[in-house]
Amino acid sequence: MACPTAMRNELLGNTVAKNLEKRGFEAVYVATAAEAKEKALSYIRKDDVISWGGCRSAEDCGLIDELRGGAYPNIIDRDTAKTPEEKTELSRKAFFADVYIGGANAISEDGQIVNIDGNGNRVAAMTWGPTNVIVIASVDKIAKTVEDAVARARMVAAPINMQRFGKDTPCTKTGTCMNCMSPDSICNVFQIIRRCNSRQGRIKVILVGEKLGF
């Protein structure tokens, strides 16, 4: 008998992929991190200008290391910046990329993508600028409603990000969002992509059964 968890993930992933497609996204379900990486690479040409924002799932499946490995000569990697000014400049250049690797803090069952950003560069590039956008997200980021998705972004993803960055915010002491106004807060820009309106399939969503990111 097939693994019940794998069966459920596949059913849910395919259901949400269909709902994302109804909203103009290109969407697919794959079972494993390795398949997610291969699917993402199938959308990318070697000579594309490629960049990315905060995208832990793309890191976890090995996509970012692959892009940094030398076979893709036109990457814009802001982590190579030596100064804050250079980092800002590289983030600006990312708007001209052929392919931008974005992310999702949560996705509602009806196919809406929710993100919270500190600076807003990632969410801005996801909605305008780069020719194509790729989002890799585990099915554990799927929430019942868009309100549930916002809650997940706020109660799960944001506090974990704050821990990762070692920030001095209430959630790093309590483990939950305290709706703070801390200067260190990453919770500055809330984005819901309700439809991929700029061009059918501009944003390609790869839903993954295997857990990636957080």
Shorter beta-carbon distance to ligand SF4: residue 131 or 163: 163
Shortest Å, Cβ 153 to ligand SF4: 9
Shorter beta-carbon distance to ligand SF4: residue 31 or 160: 160
Q: Which two tokens stand for residue 73?
A: 């000569």
Q: Identify the H or E element spanning 4.
A: helix 4-22
* 167 CB-side CA count, 13 A: 21
Q: Is the dihedral of CA 155, 165, 138, 92 positive or negative?
A: positive
Shortest Å, Cβ 162 to ligand SF4: 5
- CB count, 10 Å around CB of 92? 14
| Contacting residues toward ligand SF4, per CB under 6 A | 154, 158-159, 162, 169-171, 177-180, 182, 185-187
Shortest Å, Cβ 119 to ligand SF4: 14
Shortest Å, Cβ 180 to ligand SF4: 3
Q: Which two tokens stand for residue 77?
A: 């990697």
Shorter beta-carbon distance to ligand SF4: residue 7 or 178: 178
Shorter beta-carbon distance to ligand SF4: residue 135 or 158: 158
Strand, helix or coil at 51? Answer: strand
Shorter beta-carbon distance to ligand SF4: residue 16 or 171: 171
Shortest Å, Cβ 178 to ligand SF4: 4
Residue-by-residue DSSP string for 150-214: HHHIIIIIHHHHHHHHT--STHHHHSS------TT--TTEEEEE----SSTTSEEEEEESS----
Shorter beta-carbon distance to ligand SF4: residue 36 or 158: 158
Structural contact between residues 175 and 165, judged by C-beta atoms closer than 8 angstroms:
no
Shortest Å, Cβ 193 to ligand SF4: 20
